[in-house]
Chain A
Amino acid sequence: MDKIVIPLDAWADSFIPWLATNFRDFFQIIKTPVEWTFDQMNSGMVGLTDGIGWIAIIAIAWRLAGWKVATFTAVSMGLLGGWNPILPHLDVWDATMTTLALIVTSVLISVIIGVPLGIAASKNDKFEFVLRPALDAMQTTPSFVYLIPIVMLIGLGAVGGVFAVVVFAIPPMIRLTNLGIREVDQEVVEAACSFGATPRQVLFDVELPLAMRTIMAGLNQTLMLSLSMVVIASIIGAPGLAQLVLRGIRAMDFGSGAVGGVGLVLLAIVLDRMTQSLGQSDKDPSQTRSLSKAITKLKGLIRIGGANSSSL
């Protein structure tokens, strides 16, 4: 008997070009804000005078996570080139800043898209039911498979890289937002309802604040996944430290790979420690005040940001 083969490969082959031709405008529209965000951050961070970026990151680390993490940040970021020209370093500061801009952009998009989707999933079982396999697919599909469609739809370079990173890194943001809200004590939600709160008031007064620890854990996960994904995204031209790693693979240049790898690891540890502290509170072991703490911390960040830009 003849085999009857489903021509999935042929379908996929024709589907992506079809998308690219017919939805060109759509992809241009979603591409523009991403490109703008990344460019602003990248040029802002790379263009800083020696030492300023380094001090800013240390200040943020100190503000968010205390002096221990700040000390570690100072040393590791200095080693990557932050303390130029005072001490010897690995001379990858610009690449580190580009990677940071790429990751911050990706995480920002993941939060903007992921939190609302997570909230929607927590409110609607059918939506969650549909969403869950999609998230599974996003996490398990080998990333090389969707790199090519992304290149065809978005193009090479940083923006394509951001999209590849978001696809891979957004699931924990959605999942943990969903989980966090579902885990909120139902009696407390009922209490808010019983006083006549609207669904919006219940969400912002009760559910989000009480889910904040879990949501912050999701943010941390998303950040870590972004860091691992930038290496793969470098194949389609995502700039930064990962390009050093890619050069290491392509040209059998182990030295370059090692420098890039060390840079990524140090950056990962620094970002992990900083965001872990968002979900917890150091002084208050019951950790019920995480939202107000997180907000205070973020406000502090904005102040530092403002102070920096005005000092430039």
Chain B
Amino acid sequence: MVDVSFDVEPGEIFVVMGLSGSGKSTLIRCINRIHEPTAGTILLDDTDVTRATMSELREIRRNRVSMVFQHFALFPHKSVQENVEYGLRIKEMPNDERSDRAEQALEMVGLGGWGSYRPESLSGGMRQRVGLARALAAGTDVLLMDEAFSALDPLIKRDMQDELLNIHDKLGVTIIFITHDLNEALKLGERTAIMRDGRVEQIGSASQIINSPGSEYIHDFTRDVDRGRVLTLWSVMRPIKRIDNPDCSVDEAMKTINAIDGDCCVIITVDGEPERCISRENLIEAAEAGISNCSEIGIPTHALPMSTVLMEALTVVSEGECLTAVNHRGQLVGHANPTDIISALMQADFPTAAAHS
């Protein structure tokens, strides 16, 4: 690997995507030094992992960073419960606390009550749930996932991805996820790094990678991406302003809307809850019709999580509704208008392919 540098924010899902041989598995193993990097630095907060002594490194592995493996890497001679407890046993946690934590972790991945089974009697998807529970039970704040879902059937893979996103929402752990599947990368990753031959080709959000591929190589990849299932509201949403007064004047709304450049709208909220959405056109029409009060204009809103993929957003929203995006705490962050969504979906190939032909 040469010249691979990136920062991962706390609580972020950062995906490293590349084909086999691109160095992504080596990269993730360098982070907890299962592979010894020959050069470079890895900082975990202010701790330099690359310089840690063996015992410091063990402390980091016990308390900060845990890992989920491609082929599950469960201990075949231990029960599911013992597998999940393993990280805690290494930390010498007392028995009853340990089994409580393990049971919680198993609950979380939907395997409550399976503790006494052997890994061999579980299906692939369930085994990887155990692998995930084992990493979660360790209570670390960074989760390294090495092609964790690549060995699973497509349907189970999708379930696991959704489940991972849920768990991430609940726990807020930082996840570094390795995959060779671009769709998976763009679905899970807040940001994705694309690797090739041990180098990073591009780092960016799903929409950045799809809409402005950094190289020919990435463009080739993104051609096959099903944009409707990959791009999220977040990538097309526009800023909003809110006015917490249903009876505000048209002038006031106009002033608020003009404070932001470009196409946007104001959301009329009542006690913080969105009620109506008013666009610039609405306001102009109202002014021409001589209406001076906002209580009668605008369209109802439909709130969706900003991680909703565009395809789903289009099917859920009905005509005459304004689509708003909320973050995982339910706060309004933006709105998306149907034209933007359609153009994002249609954009397949168009700016760059035109340039090539």
Residues in chain A within 8 A of chain B (CB atoms) = 185, 187-188, 190-198, 201, 205-206, 209-210, 286, 288-292
Contacts and interface: CB of A to CB of B under 8 A. Distances in A.
A192 to B, nearest CB: 7
A289 B75 CA distance: 11
Contacts, number: 72
B28 to A, nearest CB: 10
Contacts of A206: 75
B77 A187 contact: no
Given A201-B90, A286-B120, A288-B120, A196 B62 contact: yes
Interface stretch (B63-71, B109-117, B156-164, B255-263): B63-71
B58 A196 contact: yes
Contacts of A197: 58, 90
Contact of A196 (B74, B76, B90): B90
B36 to A, nearest CB: 12
A209 B63 CA distance: 26
A194 B33 CA distance: 9
A71 B67 CA distance: 51
Interface string B117-149: 010100000000000001000100000100000
Given A190-B29, A194-B67, A196-B61, 12 more contacts: A185-B71, A187-B69, A187-B73, A196-B60, A197-B58, A198-B58, A206-B75, A209-B77, A210-B77, A288-B118, A291-B77, A292-B77
B22 to A, nearest CB: 19
Interface centre among A187, A194, A201 (most CB of B within 10 A): A194
Interface of B: 29, 32, 34, 57-63, 65-67, 69-71, 73-77, 86-87, 90-91, 118, 120, 134, 138, 144
Nearest to B91: A196
Given A187-B69, A210-B77, A288-B120, A193 B34 contact: yes
| Interchain residue pairs A-B with the least CB separation, the first 8 | A196-B62, A196-B61, A191-B73, A194-B67, A187-B73, A195-B87, A196-B58, A288-B76
Given A196-B59, A196-B61, A196-B62, A191 B75 contact: yes
Nearest to B86: A195
B337 to A, nearest CB: 46
A288 B69 CA distance: 20
Contact of A190 (B62, B66, B73): B73
B297 to A, nearest CB: 59
A286 B121 CA distance: 10
26 contacts: A187-B70, A188-B76, A190-B34, A191-B67, A191-B69, A191-B74, A192-B75, A193-B61, A194-B66, A195-B62, A195-B87, A195-B90, A196-B58, A196-B62, A196-B87, A197-B90, A198-B58, A201-B90, A205-B86, A209-B77, A210-B76, A288-B76, A288-B118, A288-B120, A289-B77, A291-B77
B86 A192 contact: yes
A86 B248 CA distance: 113
Nearest to A190: B34
A292 B76 CA distance: 12
Nearest to B121: A286
A285 to B, nearest CB: 10
B139 to A, nearest CB: 11
A38 B91 CA distance: 43
Contacts of B71: 185, 187
B202 to A, nearest CB: 28
Contacts of A195: 61-62, 66-67, 86-87, 90, 134, 138
A288 B62 contact: no
A188 B76 CA distance: 9
B32 A194 contact: yes
B127 to A, nearest CB: 12
Contacts of A198: 58
Contact of A194 (B61, B70, B75): B61
Interface centre among A195, A205, A291 (most CB of B within 10 A): A195
